[in-house]
Structures are given as structure tokens and as C-alpha cells.
Amino acid sequence: MKDLKSSDIEEIKNLKAGDSFFLSGTIYVARDRVLNEMGKRDIFPPFLVNSIIYHAGPTEKNEKGFLSFGPTTSKRMDRFLPFLFENGVLATIGKGERDVDIHKKYGKIYLLAFGGLGSLYGSKVKSVQPVLFKEFKSEALFRIDIDRFPLIVFIDRRGKTMIKQEK
Amino acid sequence: MKKIDKIVVDKIVDLYRKISITPSLFVKKEILKVKPKGKREKLFIDSYIENNRLSFKNRTPLCQDTGHLSVFIETPSNFCFDFDIEGELKKRINFKSKKFGLRYSIVDFKGKYSNYPSVYIFQGKRKNLKIVLMAKGGGSENLSKLFMLNPSSSLDDISEIVINCVEEAKDRGCPPYILGIGVGKSSLESLLLSKLALTGKFSHNRKGYEKILSEKILKGSLNVKTGFSGLGFGKTLLDCRVIIKERHIATLPLSVQFNCFQERVGVLYL
């Protein structure tokens, strides 16, 4: 499986549905509450342009200093995709299916992380920094540095999905 | 009158942590039965195994969504708590969640986060105290359904509706799934029955017609191709646990609850 960095923008844009790879580098974490607030107040920080957004919410760090940090269901956040894509977000990561037509319309990709495997993804998060709406706790906007997240391209920029490709 | 002291609270909190970091043996056996063929299938199975290893080694929750905790307490007839068990549980779980690395997933309308559980106490025909915990994440909880069916509906009709639910759930709740089915009583109680069935700790599939319905649903769901993590391989449904009770002559409530493959259920007897 190939290794990509979050800064490999052109390569990431052109990934094909069904491709599996490891992603490293800096990405951002946003889920329901923070995306709702950003949309309502029309806040879009410039550092999110060309960024990858991971739909997730971490646990607290335990007494040994480790945390669990897997993906949450993306479908709930489909309503925020036009806002994210119009402002230049490169791709999203989450679990489960999501709206294909929006991805086709904006020419964006959606990356699948495996749900229910929080310890695995948590072990690959090297630093966590809340950057916006810190009062939202696990629902804040975070900047995280990751090392080799296992991902599969669920929807590619032409609107093809990994499942249809298999049939 | 039998009483129990506050030590039970810490036992429940410790069990909550244990189920959060320990994979379900039943699910593990079912997942590892499947031999991966393609690259993506192998990636999922390898990731699942690695996740179990890391949860054990680092003491981190299997899933970051440590869930909404339901605590079902079945008591003998001559029993009472002489303290506010729900209040004590709220305090202790909230306090220990930080140390244990559990997530504060519960939020009130003012935006305050906690890990408050739901506590249900009911009297059973038993000599000891039985406490069942089930921690369930938001993804599978959002798939819950209540149907008020025509009382002339057959087991085949019920089975068809449930299989449609599994099909429509797609991969949004972390398949492979386990189902809890509650049929009968009122709308409220059928939901409770389905949740009790889902725990697997309250005499499901015991009556002949419960078993028949469970088998029909499991058989029908073999045609649902969602598979492990939506990748189209492995079973979509691993188990179907049914409880059927009496009903009003004009109603037939049916409740369907899903659990994800990170089934987190524990039981204590005191």
C-alpha cells in the first residue's frame, strides 16, 4: 500500500475509488457541533483551505497518556459539505457511506476510515491541538498530526464509489 | 429486607471501563472466521486485530465513542437501595471517565458535557441482584426503529420489515451488526424489550416463535451485502435476539435496535 502525505494535494485529488493507502501529516478534525457553528456564523479559517477534514471526536487521554480517536458516521455531516467544498476543503475522512452527488458536483473525494477501531487510529495520532471552539471539548476543531492512517477512497472526484467498482 | 451499599457503584464503573476496552468474544470469533481475500478485506481484518491488541496494551477504549451507558438492574422482591444509585453513578462515572480515558459523549441543551448513564430498576423473580451494562455508540443508536404494525401481521411480515431495516442501515452503524427485536406490549415497552434483547442477557429467543423469527431474519439478512465495515465481505448480521410479549388486540408494536461490532455488554451478580 502506498504512503501519502496530507501535503500531496494533487496526488490525493486524483486518487481512484477503491484505492487504499496510508496518510500522514497534518489534518483537521471537525464534527456536528463545530461544523454547525462555523456554518451558522460563516466562519472559515484560512488554514482549512486545501486541508483534509476528519469527522471524529477523541476520548480523554487515559492515565497512561493514550487516547482513542476513530472516525464517526459521515452521513450526518453531508449537509455541511457544500459549505466545506465551496471554501476549498480538499477531502473528508469518516466512516460509512455518504452523498455521492455532492462529491461529483464539486469534484472532491471522500476517504473511509474503519469505524469502531478507535485504539488503532488513536495510536497513530502524534499530537492534538484544539484550535477553534475549545469549549466544545471532544467536538472542538482540532489540528492533529498523524502517522500512517489506513484509509480507502470511498468516493473519488468523478463520483465513482468503491462499492460500485466491485460489482 | 436486603440492602446493598455504595460499593456497587464502583463495581459498575469498573465494569464500564472493562467492557470499553475488551472486545466481545462472540464477535471476535465471528470476524476471525472469515478469511480475507482482497487487499481491503485484509486491511480491515488486520486493523481489527491490531485494534484489539492496542486496547489491551494501552488500556484505550476499542471505540472512541464510549457510548451512552444503559444500566439495567433486576432486583429480588425483598430488596431496596437506601441511596440514590443514579445520582451516585453519575458522579462516579463522570469523575472516573477522565482517568480511564473514556469520552464525555453526553451533552445537555446548555452545551455541558458529561457521561451520565440511564438507569432502569425493575423487580425480577430472582434471589440475587443482577446488573447488566450496555454501552452503545451514536452510530448504531441512530438506526433504531419503532413500527406500529397491523395486528394481523405475520412473522414473515415482521421478518421482511426487519431485513429492510438492515438493508437501509447500510454501513452507517459499523457492521457486522447484532439486532435486538422487541415485539408486543406498548410502543414504549417494545423499545425497552428490544434493548433488553440486544444485551443478550434477558432470555431472548427462548420461546418457539421468538426462535423462528430470529432464524428467519438471520437467513434473510444473508442476502444483504453490506458486510464488514461496508466492504461487501463477511456477514452483515451476526445475531438476532428476539423477545416477544403479549399485546393489545388492536396493536402490534415492533422495535428494532442495532448494535455495532464493538458490542460492549457486561453483567454483575451480587
Hey, are the CB atoms on A114 and B138 less than 8 Å from each other?
A: no
pLDDT tens, residue by residue, B17-67 = 999 999 999 999 999 999 999 999 999 999 999 999 999 999 999 999 999
Hey, are the CB atoms on B174 and A68 less than 8 Å from each other?
A: no
CB atoms within 10 A of CB B8: 19
Say which range, A36-40, A160-164, B152-156, B230-234, has the weakest mean pLDDT: A160-164
Hey, are the CB atoms on B100 and A64 less than 8 Å from each other?
A: no
Contact B259, B198 (CB under 8 A): yes
Q: Look at the block and give the residue holding cell 447488566.
A: B132
User: What is the CB-side half-sphere exposure of residue B237 using CA atoms within 13 A?
Assistant: 28
Residues of A in contact with B36 (CB under 8 A): none
Q: Which neighbouring-strand residues pair with B259? A: B178
CB-defined contacts A:B, below 8 A = 153
Confidence of residue A166 (pLDDT cuts 50, 70, 90): very low
Hey, are the CB atoms on A62 and B103 less than 8 Å from each other?
A: no
SS3 at position B221: helix
Q: At what angle do helices B208-220 and B155-169 cross, to 10 degrees?
A: 40
Hey, are the CB atoms on A117 and B47 less than 8 Å from each other?
A: yes
Rounded CA separation A23/A2 (Å):
9
* Overall average pLDDT of the B148-152 stretch: 98
CATH of domain A2-160: 3.20.130.10
The chain A residue lying nearest B96, using CA atoms, is A62
Q: Cα B244 to chain center, whole Å? A: 17
Q: B3 pLDDT exceeds 80?
A: no
Average per-residue pLDDT for chain A: 96
Q: Which neighbouring-strand residues pair with B256? A: B145, B181
Hey, are the CB atoms on B62 and A72 less than 8 Å from each other?
A: no
Q: A134 pLDDT exceeds 80?
A: yes
Contact B196, B243 (CB under 8 A): yes
Interface test with B, best of A73, A76, A93, A100 (most B CBs within 10 A): A73
Contact A17, A61 (CB under 8 A): no
Q: How far is B16 from chain A (nearest CA, A)?
A: 14
Hey, are the CB atoms on B62 and A117 less than 8 Å from each other?
A: yes
Indicate the helix (H) or strand (E) that contains B2. strand B2-4
pLDDT tens, residue by residue, B182-192 = 999 999 999 99
Nearest to B43 among A69, A136, A150 (CB): A150
Q: Cα B26 to chain center, whole Å? A: 13
User: Could you state, in order of their start, the residue ranges of all structural domains in chain A?
Assistant: 2-160
Q: Cα B251 to chain center, whole Å? A: 26
Nearest to A67 among B97, B101, B104 (CB): B101
Rounded CA separation B137/B144 (Å):
12
* Overall average pLDDT of the A18-29 stretch: 97
Confidence of residue B208 (pLDDT cuts 50, 70, 90): very high
Question: Does the bond joining B176 to the residue before it have cis omega, within 30 degrees of 0?
Answer: yes
Q: A164 pLDDT exceeds 60?
A: no
Residues listed for chain B: 270
Cell of residue A146, nine digits: 498523524
CB atoms within 10 A of CB B121: 15
Q: How far is A121 from chain B (nearest CA, A)?
A: 8
Residues of B in contact with A116 (CB under 8 A): 51, 62-63, 174, 229, 260-262
Q: Look at the block and give the residue holding cell 430472582.
A: B126
